[in-house]
């Protein structure tokens, strides 16, 4: 049986209320190891939070087989680029810390469903008898609440792959490599636009600081609560900065399935 590593990067997860505990618990029983790479210079209690989560999960490793491992990596706040390259840099640090056969890369607001565990394991086992070493998965983008999917932001991404065959790229939403890829019917559940609108705006601004110079962005004091008006992408830049953001007619659909058990009833807190 082949083993799976799940790497996750995090910075300021407490103050920005990222549901890291729910993300980790969504892969307990699937992953042999969860690699959390945390910025030790986070301005909140992220390190202590991650360590407490490690102790909680690892106290039952003998039952579910998942071990959390914690690593420090200082984020380079000067690494500002149009692609958000610091996210990929940190994610590749997490990839390099993985020790298992396959990697399932998740962000700190994403999850997989326990009903798909056996499917993921079967895909990996079958791939070992072919030349496939990566799978494209659809990321379901929940918007406003856990019952609404924003379809125009629901896209395929390659996050499940044999260790050593791919690297994180751009803003770390996707990976790159030259291996043979197959599409699989296992989704990734994405929850970044659920919760307190004021916190959502702060999350966006926190990310934007790695795409745009500080003087081009709104200050935290100038932020308005996220209003869920639909744009091609979110960005907290000042009006005079043209980065290609524009209003679009988004498409939505009602989600009638179930959520990973760690996210059942999730409302952003």
Q: What is the pLDDT of residues 125-141, one digit of tens each?
A: 999 888 899 999 999 99
- Looking up tokens 């659909």 gives 253
Strand partners of residue 188: 139
Overall average pLDDT of the 32-58 stretch: 98
Query: How far apart are alpha carbons 141 and 173 in whole angstroms?
Result: 12
Please state the pTM of the whole predicted model.
Answer: 0.96
Q: How confident is the model at residue 269 (pLDDT cuts 50, 70, 90)?
A: low
Q: Tell me, what's the pLDDT at 69?
A: 98
Q: What is the pLDDT of residues 240-264, one digit of tens each?
A: 667 888 899 999 999 999 999 999 9
Q: Tell me, what's the pLDDT at 252?
A: 97
Q: Tell me, what's the pLDDT at 178?
A: 77
Query: How far apart are alpha carbons 93 and 65 in whole angstroms?
Result: 24
Query: How far apart are alpha carbons 35 and 32 in whole angstroms?
Result: 10
Q: What is the pLDDT of residues 169-197, one digit of tens each?
A: 999 999 999 779 999 999 999 999 999 99
Overall average pLDDT of the 40-50 stretch: 98
Q: Tell me, what's the pLDDT at 241?
A: 64
Longest Cα–Cα distance in the chain? 56
Among 20-24, 147-151, 165-169, 264-268, the minimum mean pLDDT is found in: 264-268
Query: How far apart are alpha carbons 165 and 175 in whole angstroms?
Result: 10
Q: Tell me, what's the pLDDT at 242?
A: 73
- SS3 state at 228: coil
Overall average pLDDT of the 46-62 stretch: 98
Among 82-86, 176-180, 208-212, the minimum mean pLDDT is found in: 176-180
Name the percent of the chain lying above pLDDT 70: 99
Among 71-75, 89-93, 236-240, the minimum mean pLDDT is found in: 236-240
For the chain, what is the total number of helices (H) and then of strands (E)? Answer: 6, 13
Name the E strands within the chain.
Answer: 4-10, 33-38, 67-72, 102-104, 110-111, 132-143, 148-150, 155-162, 167-169, 174-176, 180-183, 188-193, 252-254
Q: How confident is the model at residue 16 (pLDDT cuts 50, 70, 90)?
A: very high
- The answer on pLDDT for 116 being more than 90 is yes
Say how far residue 19 (Cα) sits from the centre of its chain. Answer: 10
Residues 6+ apart with CB under 8 A from 68: 24, 33, 34, 36, 53, 54, 57, 58
Domain 4-193 class, CATH top level: alpha beta
Q: Tell me, what's the pLDDT at 203?
A: 97
Strand partners of residue 143: 193
- The answer on pLDDT for 48 being more than 70 is yes
């Amino acid at each position: 049986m082949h083993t799976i590593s799940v790497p996750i990067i995090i910075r300021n997860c407490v103050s920005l209320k990222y549901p890291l505990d729910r993300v980790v618990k969504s892969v307990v029983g699937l992953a042999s190891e969860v690699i959390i790479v945390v910025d030790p210079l986070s301005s909140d209690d992220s390190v202590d939070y991650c360590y407490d989560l490690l102790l909680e999960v690892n106290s039952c490793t003998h039952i579910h087989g998942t071990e959390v491992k914690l690593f420090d990596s200082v984020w380079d706040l000067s690494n500002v680029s149009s692609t958000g390259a610091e996210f990929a840099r940190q994610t590749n640090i997490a990839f390099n810390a993985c020790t298992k056969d396959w990697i399932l890369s998740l962000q700190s607001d994403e999850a997989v469903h326990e009903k798909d565990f056996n499917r993921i394991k079967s895909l990996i086992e079958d791939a070992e008898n072919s030349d496939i070493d990566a799978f494209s998965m659809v990321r379901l983008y929940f918007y406003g609440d856990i019952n609404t999917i924003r379809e125009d932001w629901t896209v395929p991404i390659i996050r499940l792959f044999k260790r050593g065959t791919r690297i994180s790229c751009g803003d770390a939403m996707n990976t790159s490599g030259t291996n043979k890829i197959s599409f699989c019917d296992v989704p990734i559940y994405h929850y970044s636009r659920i919760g307190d609108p004021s916190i959502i705006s702060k999350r966006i601004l926190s990310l934007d600081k790695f795409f745009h110079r500080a003087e081009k962005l709104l200050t935290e004091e100038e932020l308005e609560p996220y209003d869920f008006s639909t744009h091609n992408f979110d960005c907290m830049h000042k009006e005079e900065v043209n980065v290609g953001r524009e209003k679009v007619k988004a498409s939505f659909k009602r989600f009638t399935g179930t959520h990973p058990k760690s996210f059942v009833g999730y409302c952003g807190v």
